Structure 1
Amino acid sequence: MTVTAGTAQGPRPEGETPPRRARVAPAGGRPVPQGRGGSVTGGPGPGLRLRRQAGAARAALRRRFWATVPARLRLLRAATVLLATAVAMLLTVAGLAANGTWDSVADRDAPRTTSAADLGLALNDMDAQAANILLSSGDAGKGRLRTPYTKAVGFYGDARREISHDLRTLAVAAQGDRSDEKTVEHLTDDFAEYQELIGRALENDGHSGGKPAALADYRRATDLLRSRLLPAASTLVSSNDAAFDAEYSSAHSALDAQQYALLSLGVLLLAALGVLQWYLARSFRRILNPGVLAATVCTLLAVILGAQALSTSADHLRVARHDAFDSVVALSRARALAYDANADESRYLLDAQRREQYAESFLAKSQKLYGIRGATLDTYDAGLATTWQAYETDHHDLRFTGEFRRELDNITFPGERAAAEKTVRTYAVYQRDDRKIRALVAAGKEREATEFCMDWQPGTSNARFGTWMAALDQVAGINRAHFDASVRAGRSVVNGLLPWAGVLLLAAVILTGLGLRPRLAEFG
């Protein structure tokens, strides 16, 4: 058998390394490197080259930014500056947003809600005074009740001017809200029609024997008021109050989020300063760097001041919206209902054909003010006395409802409870006077009932209504004063603390640089 050299091999001893295969040289005599798996290639593959370049880049970055002591110091200084800048920017944004919120609350949200409530009150007052004019004018001036007539004319003019002012305020506030814009437009048109009807009623009343025609015009006017004007005003109160509440919720959530972000960034900044202090102590055999230590103190104070400003602003916002303004809205509604109920008494005396209707309307408004389940005009006074006595024994007793209940459940400020309870007690006196008016009418003493209802002498119904309104205004005044105080305090804490926090952050950056300068100078 023929043996060919290089093709047949005997068994290789155990552990012996096989010989390497010789590289194949091209014609020029230069060997070509082999790729993986023995393939012949012209150089390293693209993937290998990219990995080598990336590794070289990482090595260069490491040498530049971390491999040496100066590089590490500069990197930590840069991290400190960036974090301090981020905290400063956050505080700036939060401060601008908080000031914008306070401007919106004080100059838009609260005024347009109270203007809507004042509009309802003024509409009721104007209608009540129109009825009082017709009641007290006599027949073309004959038999006129002079004091009630003069006061009714004056109050009528005041209410008309107040309505015009409120409509202008609401028109400006409604811009951008198509629904509210349409409501104000309809209110303005309906009020013009209402004024025309009242004007005709008063003109007819000035003629001898003109009372029936005046009464017909007044009926049309008060029907327009009750069916369109008052519901539209109530809708504006609800929509504007809801918009205010939405603004409050959004602003309060934003303040909470900003406070959380501030604390997070503040912790990172303090951590960066702590790492820098540790590295300086480890590298230069010194316990503390005075510049970095001072920067840490400034940073801590800045974070504390910023967090306090945001937290306190959120607290003042809550007090303004819920503790104070919720009561303002409830009391504004109560005042509008009170004037409407008082107008129902005048309508009851003026229009004999509608007495039952106006009596039911008076009771319905009384229930909205101080609700007693199942009460009628005959049982209302006894129910009021019983439930009020129970409340005085236990302030959590829930046997009555209404706007007074809303206020009594939201007692917050010094003197507010005493003023609110005085309001309910004066309301109870006014209610008892109403029964006297109806008893005089039932006895056929309509002239006496009219004089008692409209006179302003002590002990008469109008005088006691004035006492009730004065007590109601006192409670509202307490809440308005605290609302205004919360707005001022909220603005003050933002404008007073946040600039100082910014100054402290700037000082922290400067002190960090000054503390590192001598150490970096040692490396040339």
Structure 2
Amino acid sequence: MAVRAALRRRFWASVPARLRLLRTATAVLTAALALLLLVAGLAANGTWDGVADRDAPRTTSAADLNLALNDMDAQAANILLSHGDAGKGSLKTPYDKAFGFYGDARRGIGHDLRTLAVAAQGNRADEKTVESLTDDFAEYQELIGRALESDDRSGGKASAVDEYRRATDLLQSRLLPASRMLVSSNDGSFEARYIAARSTLSGRLIAVVALGVLLLTALGVLQWYLARRFRRILNPAVLAASVCALLAVILGAQMLISTSVQLRGARRDAFDSVVALSRARAVAYDANADESRYLLDPQWRAQYADAFLAKSQKLYGIQGATLATYDAGLAATWKAYESDHHDLLFTGEFRRELDNITFNGERAAAEKTVETYAVYQRDDRKIRALVAAGKEQEATEFCMGWEPGTSNAHFGAWMTALDRVTDINQAHFAESVRTGRSAVSGLLPWADGLLVAAMLLTALGLRPRLAEFR
């Protein structure tokens, strides 16, 4: 009891003791709030670094790999289809373009594999996937190389088609599933970190507000005590400290709220669409390759026709549609969508993008993508009709041509429209990252500076009062 009484006399019984205790409480709360904001700001910067420099690039690299694999196989089919018999009767422009695109895709795959190998370090599952992809890609290149060598020999087309068929089987059974797994794995890691970051931001916002309320309460009690004990209405320095503390809490909360809002914009509004559109582009290239395979390999035409329809359904799904009914179904469901954007008559990657319209110009660009896709689909039916009529050379020229009105020209227009939507979302993703980083760099120094000022003002405001008791 004696110890307790002594402590009470030392820390609370006298006026100076009470003033020192209140000064210490406000100083501790101010320092704690400043430290919390500093930690939160540094963590927010770390989150933005992870989003912009790790999570998004890894996911897009995996999507680029998936696309490049499809493109390389499509161009290999185009090379074989346009080369004629050991170069005799070749379609020069389609052949030259296919050969150039083939080399670009191969180099892109090599770059993407190296990028993903670095990104996979520490994740054993992803490491094994990249290792398997690298080995399988080497085998795939060997098979394609044999096919191209056979095609250079007079009468070697049948052998070339057989080697190409084996390469395509390897692509479809091992390479593409593994690349899609990497897209899902990296996107899943991004999603998990996004959810964790948003949760942490919410927790820190609550903590900032709670500490801010405690600090303002302590300053209010100090102001009340000074007014009551020294017969003064207000202590100007403590009042100024209270204003600084209030502004610091507001700025700190604004920093955390802005970071959370921009993080959601980057992930949900922009990057979710980027992923859907990247998948759509890869599927589009694979579907386009199925047309070339259909013309190149008559024995497997039924299989390639089914594959083309399956990929079309992934892009723009119409329940129960066949190749014969797909165009009519697309026209009917699209007309219904134009009347009511919330209709559920079609599914697929295009539907996913159309349900996530956020930015100016995005809806018009997305709708343009579907409209150019419809033109390309009608070209496919023309190719199959020409084949059915025994006009295979005409079908090949229409499929492989780059002149206005040909299938490749319409495919290019479709990809240009698709890229436009992707560019809109990527631009807003980058803008969200810049705005999120600016919120931290712009508000954190002010918030912590104001808290330092509040601490100094509190000390200055109490100094004259404590001096009266010396």
Q: Same fold, TM exceeding 0.5?
A: yes
Aligned to 2:52: 106
Aligned to 1:96: 42
What SS is found at the alignment partner of 1:378?
helix
Q: Which moved more, 1:61-70 or 1:318-327?
A: 61-70
Aligned to 1:346: 292
Counterpart of 1:366, as a letter, is: S
What SS is found at the alignment partner of 2:323?
coil
Counterpart of 2:435, as a letter, is: A
Counterpart of 1:382, as a letter, is: A
Q: How far off is 1:318 after superposition?
A: 0.2
Aligned to 1:141: 87
Which residues in structure 2 correspond to 1:69-88 (within 5 Å)?
69-88=15-34
Which residues in structure 2 correspond to 1:41-190 (within 5 Å)?
55-190=1-136
Q: 1:361 aligns with which of 265, 284, 307?
A: 307
Q: 1:249 aligns with which of 195, 200, 203?
A: 195
Aligned to 1:447: 393
Counterpart of 2:308, as a letter, is: F
What SS is found at the alignment partner of 1:375?
coil
Counterpart of 1:146, as a letter, is: K
Structure 2, unpaired ranges of 5+: none
Distance, in Å, in 2 between the alignment partners of 1:438 and 1:428 is 16
Counterpart of 2:49, as a letter, is: D
Confirm or deny that 1:523 pairs with 2:469. yes
Specify which structure has the higher proportion of helix: 2
Aligned to 1:22: none
Counterpart of 2:388, as a letter, is: A
Confirm or deny that 1:300 pairs with 2:241. no
Aligned to 1:321: 267
Q: How far off is 1:59 after superposition?
A: 1.1
Residues 374-408 of structure 1, C-alpha deviations (whole Å, 9 max, x = no match) = 00000000000000000000001000000000000
Q: 1:275 aligns with which of 214, 221, 228?
A: 221
Distance, in Å, in 1 between the alignment partners of 2:61 and 2:368 is 26
Which residues in structure 2 correspond to 1:166-245 (within 5 Å)?
166-245=112-191
Aligned to 1:374: 320
Q: How far off is 1:62 after superposition?
A: 1.2
Asked which structure has the greater RCO (Cα within 8 Å, sep 6+), the reply is: 2
What SS is found at the alignment partner of 1:96?
helix
Q: How far off is 1:332 after superposition?
A: 0.3
Counterpart of 2:52, as a letter, is: A
Confirm or deny that 1:465 pairs with 2:416. no
Aligned to 2:424: 478
Q: 2:384 aligns with which of 438, 446, 451?
A: 438
Counterpart of 2:11, as a letter, is: F
Structure 1, unpaired ranges of 5+: 1-54
Residues 308-359 of structure 1, C-alpha deviations (whole Å, 9 max, x = no match) = 0000000000000000000000000000000000000000000000000000
Aligned to 1:384: 330
Counterpart of 1:312, as a letter, is: S
Counterpart of 2:16, as a letter, is: P
Q: How far off is 1:58 after superposition?
A: 1.2
Q: How far off is 1:212 after superposition?
A: 1.1
Residues 281-306 of structure 1, C-alpha deviations (whole Å, 9 max, x = no match) = 00100000011000000000000000
Q: How far off is 1:147 after superposition?
A: 0.3
Counterpart of 2:318, as a letter, is: I
Q: How far off is 1:93 after superposition?
A: 1.0
Q: Which moved more, 1:495-504 or 1:339-348?
A: 495-504
Counterpart of 1:480, as a letter, is: Q
What SS is found at the alignment partner of 1:127?
helix
- Highest CA radius of gyration, 1 or 2? 1
Distance, in Å, in 1 between the alignment partners of 2:197 and 2:184 is 20
Counterpart of 2:142, as a letter, is: E
Q: How far off is 1:207 after superposition?
A: 1.0
What SS is found at the alignment partner of 2:13?
coil
**TM-score of the two chains, using structure 2 as the length reference:** 1.00
Q: 1:311 aligns with which of 257, 264, 272?
A: 257
Distance, in Å, in 2 between the alignment partners of 1:317 and 1:59 is 54
Confirm or deny that 1:421 pairs with 2:402. no
What SS is found at the alignment partner of 1:208?
coil
Distance, in Å, in 1 between the alignment partners of 2:49 and 2:250 is 25
What SS is found at the alignment partner of 2:148?
helix
What SS is found at the alignment partner of 2:116?
helix
- The ranges of structure 1 where at least 4 consecutive aligned residues each deviate by more than 4 angstroms after the TM superposition are none
What SS is found at the alignment partner of 1:189?
helix
Aligned length: 470
What SS is found at the alignment partner of 1:363?
helix
Distance, in Å, in 1 between the alignment partners of 2:434 and 2:107 is 30
